Structure 1
Amino acid sequence: MLHTDKLASTHELFAQELQKEFSAALMTVPNRKLTCLILDGEPALNAYSKILEVPSLRCDFHIYAQISRKISREKLKQQKAFIFGELKEGIWKNGILGSFDALEFDTKLEKIHGKIEDVIYNWIKLNRKMLIESSIVSAKLKAGHIVQYGTNNVLESLNAKLKIFIGKARSLIELIEKLSSFCEEELTGIFRAAGGFPDQVKLTNFNDNLTGSDLKQLFDKFYFPCSEVLSWKLPKKLLFESCVYDLARCYSKAQILQVSLVRDFLYIVENTQLAEIEPERFATVRILNEKLNCSLCDNTVWFCQHILRVLMSLPDVERSLRLQQLSKPNNNILTTRPNTGKK
């Protein structure tokens, strides 16, 4: 899709692969489904609407861009209300795209004849069928798009960013590696924004005053992996040291574990799905030097499935304390006093 001529056959192949991915993903979220697609008007893109079996709508920004190329900016500023509508004295006045059927569309088109440039009038008349089927209010409501205007500019921005990141044409292996790196960088930015340290990503409805339960509810709405861990408000050091993929994988494993024995500074974590003779059925998580340490896992990072399970079982205040302790640098390196050896 990045380095082809984007023929209709290429789009059809890609749409078939998308259909497989969407079908598998939607099985895990039964209350969600595809409602419509917003396209920029390229005819070959209709393959997605056909194969995914959802109606397509026309991006309003692309319509605006088409019109803006035909007349000057000053004239467009004066005449755009006839097409897109305007708020006048607290009342919204619909333009021609606010029509509910073909009859209303045609009536409005005749009324604005002479009030808009002939080149715009002729363009609307030439594209009448497309506008009625994919741009007016009734088409959007029928497709499940409940807001009056819609744009795919967010995806256009992402596409532009992706093309810059990919750069020149590459071999298949190189392309997969670059795509993987791109996705990892984007997900890391989202992950850090969810942890309260945004860089280039801002999460809707997120603020520092939300409680842990509020954050989990918000992250669940976005289908974030390991939303419970993110709701703990991890210290910055732990957040930046965490790979979202590794954390999500460990969190998934931690959910099947049980904390079977708790004593001062010691937790026994059990995997009941393993046989009792299996050496990895039980893990000991101890508090050493004020930090949680696992007997089974290599502590090269601050978390493992057993440490996460212990943290999940702790009260909020104690969990926050343990996380703060984990974020502190290790003091295991032996040092000597400056005056050692002097009289």
Structure 2
Amino acid sequence: MSSNQPADVFDFQQNPIFYEIQPSIELFAEESYQKNENIPSSSNCSVVRYIDPRMIYKCNVCLKTFKEFKEKKGFRIPVLDSIQFSKLETLNERRTLIFSTPPIHEKVNYDGLKWSKTENGKRQQPLYRTIVFDDSRLSLVQCTEASNPNLKKEVLHLLDRVILRYFLTENGVFEIPDSSDVKKKRLGGTVSEDLKNNILPLRTTSAALVVANGKGYDLSRKQIRNMTRSIKSAIPEKSGRRVITTLADVKVLGNTNSNNLTYFVDQIGELVFTYLHVFEDALKIFASGCPTKRDFEEWTERANRLYSESADIRKTELNMILEDFPSGVIFPSRIFVDTTFNLSDCYVTFVLGESGHFRTKTSNKPRVFPIGYMIHSHKDTSNHQMFAENIKTALGPFMTGRVAPAVLMDGEKSLQEYADALESSVIRCDWHILRLLSHKFGKKASKQGNHLIFGYKKSDGSWKSGLLGSYTKDQFERRLAKIEDKIDHRIHEWLSSNKSWLLDSSIAYPKLKSGMILQYTTNNPSENFNKLLKTVIQKPHPIAELIRKVNDFSEEKLNEIYKSAIGESDLVELSKDLSSCNASIREDHLRNIGLMCPQLLSYYPPSTVSQTPKNNCKRKFSTERKGRALQ
């Protein structure tokens, strides 16, 4: 380090731990890395220098604040092999995240986001800068996400590592992109040439992958397989499914999970299997947030009265209700069901529950969490019927006197079984209806009828309802006739032929009866859950490994709920503030919202205990249930 360095520079070389400054202290000032000098930013704090291998921070305004923070609490910069979406979950809350990775060949690391684009002849791309510090020249890349200008990234290349900083500007919000929008990792020029000239010739795909990984290239089998098409001397391999579940695999699984597994070989010799798993503690949390039968019946009577009122009276009263429930959801205790694939050679159906007793920090919305899943070889209705009955049986002891108001799902008919088993209303996802119309009749036709079918927000901020905003059958038919000449005739015919189930599960009235005031309703919680799951399970796995990974992922989500009870979760918090309550009141509340070990949690145990409280309390929980049954 230079001898003329100011005395107020905090030198990380003198400290073995990397500390992260809180979001209230801005880590990077644009002027600082554009010019090699200290220029205070608008937030009265600046970072002026980097030095290899440690970072040095200097702030002539808030250095004291930084020192106080350092003494109070510090965090290591996470060292990761790669950046996945699951690592960016807390970005909306913390506004700034910093990671460290090993050196990479690319100037900009791959994370699935799009940092460059060309649109209407205009090119957006990262800015490449060089920082000179003493005799070291460091490369800094500043990036802006192509579809979200408030999402930024900075990549600093040191000699033995790469420092990554993700941050949001102004009121920016980070959302996990849809799988179809995730940028595919591309091969660099030097890597591509090395593959063509040295690695692929006279080798199979598997052998080439081993050699490429040995050279430090982060490649997928599919990328190498695509490259072999242009290499005549490459040795072709057999193609087919990467994972095949055999009868022997299922029998081994049955040795330890016989109660959850059913399987047989059908008449044509095909293996048919179904594996069920429910999270008992999650069922209890979900049930505790469900409305009582009396409350739900009172709301249903009110909804029926609004159904018979005039449109003006209905609108006025609904606006009054929205003042008390701005989210538009009266009972945040819905169930979400969806089936995903590409995790193995089978399907995975997740059932998610919602609880208003907990909320996600970044969005302030009620927390959604897994209450059970099914792994099944075939998409038969009988599988869903069996799983629905299984959930009903497990949920029964906790649902005495309570009601699950609605089950939200896409258009798969077999998912109706879950609503039937729980005696709940079915609400179809509007977004899936739009996607279905786009798939069947084309994007142009579906876009033409989008506003007329689903409604839209006008320039003054008010909502103009569409066909699915109808409350009565007569209103639906009048609107359908009115838009006949304004939408594609094929879409109009489809709406007419599917009128029955649209009236039962998609128009405004069934949503209102289920406690949802706003017209537009989606199954987004299930879609987001599946996206996060696939960032963890990135390739097909054998069934035993798949079950282990799904269990680990689900348990991690449930652990966040327990950690929120003692304020240790970065993702979840209690909807009710218990900070000023004594231990007895906290214990009663935690018991009422369905958490196990409420007495332990009420005394704010160390975070190491809170990571797996339910696993340590299974026996106690079973004893409590038996005791209540005897009373």
Please tell me the TM-score bracket, short chain as reference. 0.5 to 0.7
Q: Which amino acid aligns with 2:505?
A: S
**Could you say if the C-alpha distance between residues 7 and 161 of structure 1 is closer, same or farther in structure 2, counting changes exceeding 3 Å?**
farther
Q: How far, CA to CA, are the matches of 1:141 and 1:115 in structure 2?
A: 28
Match of 2:614 among 217, 220, 245: 245
Deviations 1:266-317 (A, max 9, x none): xxxxxxxxxxxxxxxxxxxxxxxxxxxxxxxxxxxxxxxxxxxxxxxxxxxx
What pairs with 1:1-343 in structure 2 (closer than 5 Å)? 1-27=374-400, 30=401, 32-69=402-439, 70-72=441-443, 76=447, 79-88=449-458, 89-162=460-533, 168=540, 170-171=542-543, 177-199=548-570, 201-203=571-573, 205=575, 210-212=579-581, 222-227=593-598, 229-230=600-601, 232-234=603-605, 238-242=606-610, 243-246=612-615, 248=617
The alignment's TM-score, normalised by the length of structure 1, stands at: 0.58
Secondary structure of 2:521 counterpart: coil
Q: How far, CA to CA, are the matches of 1:188 and 1:228 in structure 2?
A: 17
Query: What count of residue pairs does the alignment treat as equivalent?
Result: 245
Q: How far, CA to CA, are the matches of 1:250 and 1:9 in structure 2?
A: 34
Gaps of 5+ in 1: 256-343
Q: How far, CA to CA, are the matches of 2:586 and 2:495 in structure 1?
A: 47
Q: Which amino acid aligns with 2:403?
A: K
Q: Is the 8 A contact 1:192 1:240 kept in 2?
A: no
User: Larger % of helix: which?
Assistant: 1
Q: Which amino acid aligns with 2:421?
A: I
Q: How far, CA to CA, are the matches of 1:119 and 1:158 in structure 2?
A: 34
> Deviation of residue 20 (structure 1)?
0.3
Q: Is the 8 A contact 1:212 1:232 kept in 2?
A: no
Secondary structure of 1:195 counterpart: coil
> Deviation of residue 93 (structure 1)?
2.1
% of aligned pairs identical? 31
User: Larger % of strand: which?
Assistant: 2
> Deviation of residue 84 (structure 1)?
1.8
Deviations 1:74-117 (A, max 9, x none): 972x6422122233334332211111111111111121223233
Q: How far, CA to CA, are the matches of 2:566 and 2:444 in structure 1?
A: 43
Q: Is the 8 A contact 1:187 1:244 kept in 2?
A: no
Q: How far, CA to CA, are the matches of 1:133 and 1:165 in structure 2?
A: 37
Q: RMSD over aligned Cα, in angstroms?
A: 3.6
Q: Which amino acid aligns with 2:573?
A: L
Q: How far, CA to CA, are the matches of 2:495 and 2:473 in structure 1?
A: 13
Q: How far, CA to CA, are the matches of 1:204 and 1:164 in structure 2?
A: 27
Gaps of 5+ in 2: 1-373, 625-631
Q: How far, CA to CA, are the matches of 1:91 and 1:67 in structure 2?
A: 26
Q: How far, CA to CA, are the matches of 1:245 and 1:194 in structure 2?
A: 12
Q: How far, CA to CA, are the matches of 1:39 and 1:19 in structure 2?
A: 17
Q: Which amino acid aligns with 1:62?
A: H
Q: Is the 8 A contact 1:40 1:58 kept in 2?
A: yes
Q: How far, CA to CA, are the matches of 1:222 and 1:150 in structure 2?
A: 26
Q: How far, CA to CA, are the matches of 1:7 and 1:74 in structure 2?
A: 32
**Could you say if the C-alpha distance between residues 206 and 81 of structure 1 is closer, same or farther in structure 2, counting changes exceeding 3 Å?**
farther
Stretch deviating more after TM superposition (163-172 or 102-111): 163-172
Secondary structure of 1:203 counterpart: strand
Q: Which amino acid aligns with 1:10?
A: N
Deviations 1:226-277 (A, max 9, x none): 445545555xxx213432225645986999xxxxxxxxxxxxxxxxxxxxxx
Deviations 1:121-179 (A, max 9, x none): 2332232222111111112233444443332221233245446656645456x665445
Secondary structure of 1:80 counterpart: helix
Q: Is the 8 A contact 2:445 2:487 kept in 1?
A: no
Q: How far, CA to CA, are the matches of 1:196 and 1:43 in structure 2?
A: 41
Deviations 1:194-224 (A, max 9, x none): 433434x2337477x9534697787567433
| Structure possessing the higher relative contact order (Cα contacts under 8 Å, 6 or more residues apart) | 2
Secondary structure of 2:375 counterpart: coil
> Deviation of residue 54 (structure 1)?
2.5
Q: Is the 8 A contact 1:215 1:231 kept in 2?
A: yes
Secondary structure of 2:385 counterpart: helix
Stretch deviating more after TM superposition (85-94 or 34-43): 85-94
Q: How far, CA to CA, are the matches of 2:566 and 2:525 in structure 1?
A: 23
Q: How far, CA to CA, are the matches of 1:48 and 1:98 in structure 2?
A: 25
Q: Which amino acid aligns with 2:450?
A: K
Q: How far, CA to CA, are the matches of 2:553 and 2:421 in structure 1?
A: 27
Deviations 1:10-38 (A, max 9, x none): 111111111101212213xx4x3122211
**Could you say if the C-alpha distance between residues 186 and 73 of structure 1 is closer, same or farther in structure 2, counting changes exceeding 3 Å?**
farther
